[in-house]
Structure 1
């Protein structure tokens, strides 16, 4: 991983929350913090001045919240999505607010956050609002896929930096059964037991390789989004892979990551394996 976190700001309340979260994360993990504002050229002469002001405010706030963290700021120009994706190439992670100034009030996640989460080179953390509550718990969705392996690695790092418990959720669906399946109750119970057993076994290597962490796990038989939303109620951050075992190869964001982004209120990290990790 690179030695700095990037946060994109635009002067909105969610972006301010994102800058504060990124500053705290940089402090915990001993990383530098780079704050950027991609200033699109609006048809108003004061647009550049506004961008510079928003960037300065975010930089000042980050410096107030940190100590011994190298905080830099840069005003960029061009397309916001393209610029932020480019920033992710060299960053440990990219942090964004859930909606920017251009978002509709009723939207949970704006178009920029959705596009960047689907195409960034590494982890993207989406922050909705500041949170005064602390649960000392990181939740991660895990199904053993390549994408969830990357999510687990990031979740482990987050849990260790926070001194927090890591809770692994391995939810799974019961396959559709015919009305006659009730006659095979023992077989269904065996299937459920085998699924839960396999999920627990996938977590064991992580527990063995990270004995310093408290790692708990659950194998609910329910839709993964529902299970993660419930677990998120007592989490400081929820981590998911950008796609899982059920994703189509052409999908940028899988249904689980998409659903979690829209329904979880705490910060959500969407993680995809970097190119070198996939090779």
Structure 2
């Protein structure tokens, strides 16, 4: 039996937008869709589930749909459900979050601790409705991006769209180097930025040969490079490393920034 795509609902408009996005995603991947509402006590839960279910059926009438209500902390319940989920899909803000917050506390907590990919549905309708034809993935040096790149290629494959891999680099201020050596050349003495991208894309590009892929090496902060690229994307994908000696993931400053500010839906993919 296929593991389900799980979407958290709380009655907010953001969570209903997440239901819309998740319904389309379930169709693309041919997986069941599971609606989940969790709260310590909520007498309106059946009504919330009914509204979300009707919305999901309207958007994806052929998808196998299920739902449940759990009387426990929302973040803990979603993280637990994510242990056997295709992905978790959440709205950017919930009913209980303070006005002015860019990302809800539940979404941030789930993104930091889930074992499966977590999608936070952000942005206007043009970014949520696949109008750009691009999936953007952030690539870092080392092993932290491998699973994210694989996920991004699969998304581009099922969407029949283009993949854009972005690697940002910068030389720290005060880094010593030979006189007259440019920043790029200094970085290349360690590991050429273009090689970082080439190595990351090689294997998944062979697996998904139908996906047109391009690479962008950007001399900038990773935060700025990813947010700029995401302005023309249907989905932004980033990786997250496991924390040594602790449960959960190491989201890091860059992932925090893009989770709060991305103009499109963003997926955080745990490193395997």
Residue 16 of structure 1: aligned partner: 16
* Distance in 1 separating the partners of 2:135 and 2:99: 29
* Distance in 2 separating the partners of 1:218 and 1:249: 34
* Distance in 1 separating the partners of 2:224 and 2:48: 37
1:90 aligned to which of 80, 84, 94 = 84
Question: What is the DSSP-based 3-state SS (H/G/I as helix, E as strand, rest coil) of the residue aligned with 1:72?
Answer: strand
Residue 44 of structure 1: aligned partner: none
Shift of 1:71: 0.9
Residue 179 of structure 2: aligned partner: 184
Shift of 1:248: 7.8
Q: Is the 8 A contact 2:170 2:183 kept in 1?
A: no
Q: TM-score, normalised by structure 1?
A: 0.87
Shift of 1:39: 2.8
Matches of residues 74-153 of structure 1 in structure 2 within 5 Å? 74-129=68-123, 131-133=125-127, 134-153=131-150
Shift of 1:73: 1.2
Matches of residues 1-279 of structure 1 in structure 2 within 5 Å? 3-41=3-41, 47-48=42-43, 50-129=44-123, 131-133=125-127, 134-177=131-174, 184-186=179-181, 188-193=183-188, 195-202=192-199, 203-243=201-241, 252-273=250-271, 277=272
Question: What is the DSSP-based 3-state SS (H/G/I as helix, E as strand, rest coil) of the residue aligned with 1:85?
Answer: helix
Question: What is the DSSP-based 3-state SS (H/G/I as helix, E as strand, rest coil) of the residue aligned with 1:186?
Answer: coil
* Distance in 2 separating the partners of 1:173 and 1:105: 35
Shift of 1:107: 0.4
Question: What is the DSSP-based 3-state SS (H/G/I as helix, E as strand, rest coil) of the residue aligned with 1:68?
Answer: coil
User: Aligned Cα RMSD in Å?
Assistant: 2.2
* Distance in 2 separating the partners of 1:267 and 1:249: 30
Question: What is the DSSP-based 3-state SS (H/G/I as helix, E as strand, rest coil) of the residue aligned with 2:126?
Answer: coil
**Which whole-Å deviations, capped at 9, do the CAs of 1:103-151 have from their partners, x for residues lacking one?**
0110011111111000001100001355235101000001244331111
Would the alpha carbon gap of residues 271 and 189 (structure 1) be closer, same or farther in structure 2, given more than 3 Å must change? Answer: closer
Question: What is the DSSP-based 3-state SS (H/G/I as helix, E as strand, rest coil) of the residue aligned with 1:171?
Answer: strand
* Distance in 1 separating the partners of 2:147 and 2:3: 18
* Distance in 1 separating the partners of 2:192 and 2:107: 34
* Distance in 2 separating the partners of 1:38 and 1:54: 11
Q: Is the 8 A contact 1:199 1:219 kept in 2?
A: no
* Distance in 2 separating the partners of 1:227 and 1:189: 16
Shift of 1:192: 4.2
Unaligned ranges ≥5, structure 2:
none
Q: TM-score, normalised by structure 2?
A: 0.89
Instruction: Out of 207-216 and 87-96, give the one that drifted further.
Output: 207-216
Unaligned ranges ≥5, structure 1:
42-46
* Distance in 2 separating the partners of 1:177 and 1:27: 51
Matched positions, count:
264
Would the alpha carbon gap of residues 129 and 168 (structure 1) be closer, same or farther in structure 2, given more than 3 Å must change? Answer: closer
* Distance in 2 separating the partners of 1:2 and 1:91: 9
Shift of 1:67: 3.3
